[in-house]
A and B are shown apart, each in its own frame.
Chain A
Amino acid sequence: MWPIVRDAFADASPAVRRQIKIVVFTWVILVAMQAWDSRNSSGPAGVAEFLSAVLGASGVALLGTAYTLQRTLDEPSARARHDDPTVRQVLIALPGLGFAAGVALGAAAALMTLRLLLGAEFVLALIALPVYGAMLIVAGRTVNNSARTLFQYAVAQAAIAVDARSHAAAAQLAALQSRMNPHFLFNALNTVAAIVRTNPPAAERLVENLSDVLRTTLRRSSAPMSTVGEEIEYVRACLTLETERFGDRLRVGWTVEDGLMPVASPPLILQPLVENALTHGIGATADGGMIRIAVAGTGDRVTFTVEDDGPGFPGTLVERTGLGNLRERLATIYGDRAALTLESGSSGGARASVSIPRS
Chain B
Amino acid sequence: MKILIVDDEAPARSRLASLVEEIDAELDGLAIEIVGEAATGMAALELARDRRPDVLLLDIAMPEVDGLDVVRHLPEPRPLVIFQTAYEQFALQAFDHQALDYVVKPVHKERLARALVRARDRLATTRPPWTGSLGEIGAALGHTPVRPARVLVRDGAGHRLVAVRDISRFFADQGLVRAATAHESPVIDYTLGELEARLGGDFVRVSRSDLVHNAHVSRVLGNGDGSATLILSDGTRVHVSRRRAGDVRRLLKAQS
Contact = CB atoms under 8 A, between A and B. Distances in A.
Contacts, number: 103
A246 B9 contact: yes
A286 B147 contact: no
Interface string B163-207: 011000000000000000000000000000000000111100000
B61 A183 contact: yes
A198 B149 CA distance: 34
Interface string A296-324: 00000000000000110111111000000
Contact of A318 (B39, B62, B146, B200): B200
A284 B63 contact: yes
A112 B147 CA distance: 83
The interface centre, meaning the residue of A194, A245, A310, A311 with most chain B CB atoms within 10 A of its CB, is: A194
Interface in B237-256: 251, 254-255
B12 to A, nearest CB: 5
A139 B108 CA distance: 81
B215 interface: yes
A314 B64 contact: no
Contacts of A286: 8, 39-42, 62-65
B10 A247 contact: yes
Interface in B123-157: 142, 146-150
A183 B147 contact: no
B15 A194 contact: yes
Interface in B210-226: 214-215
A182 interface: yes
B12 A190 contact: yes
Nearest to B43: A286
A191 interface: yes
B14 A194 contact: yes
A173 interface: no
B93 to A, nearest CB: 20
B64 A318 contact: no
B104 interface: yes
A197 interface: yes
A317 B202 CA distance: 9
A147 B200 CA distance: 52
A104 interface: no
Given A194-B15, A316-B254, A284 B149 contact: yes
Contact of B146 (A182, A190, A280): A280
Interface in B4-27: 8-12, 14-15, 18
Chain A, interface SS category: helix
B215 A285 contact: no
A288 B64 CA distance: 10
Task: Give the size range of A's interface with the partner.
Answer: 20 to 34
A313 B215 CA distance: 12
A193 B201 contact: no
A279 interface: yes
A191 B9 contact: yes
Contacts of A191: 9, 11-12
A189 interface: yes
A186 interface: yes
A285 B9 contact: no
B111 interface: no
Interface string B62-73: 111100000000
A195 B11 contact: yes
Given A194-B11, A286-B64, A315 B146 contact: no
A189 B40 contact: no
Closest 7 CB pairs of A and B: A314-B201, A194-B11, A193-B106, A311-B149, A194-B15, A182-B87, A190-B105
Interface of B: 8-12, 14-15, 18, 39-42, 61-65, 86-87, 104-107, 142, 146-150, 164-165, 199-202, 214-215, 251, 254-255
Given A186-B105, A288-B63, A311-B164, 19 more contacts: A187-B86, A187-B105, A190-B107, A191-B11, A193-B106, A194-B12, A194-B106, A195-B11, A198-B11, A198-B15, A247-B10, A279-B146, A280-B146, A283-B63, A284-B64, A286-B65, A314-B200, A315-B215, A317-B201
25 contacts: A183-B61, A186-B86, A190-B9, A190-B86, A190-B107, A191-B11, A191-B12, A194-B9, A194-B11, A194-B15, A195-B11, A197-B18, A244-B11, A247-B9, A249-B63, A284-B63, A284-B148, A285-B149, A286-B42, A310-B149, A311-B148, A311-B149, A314-B199, A315-B255, A318-B201
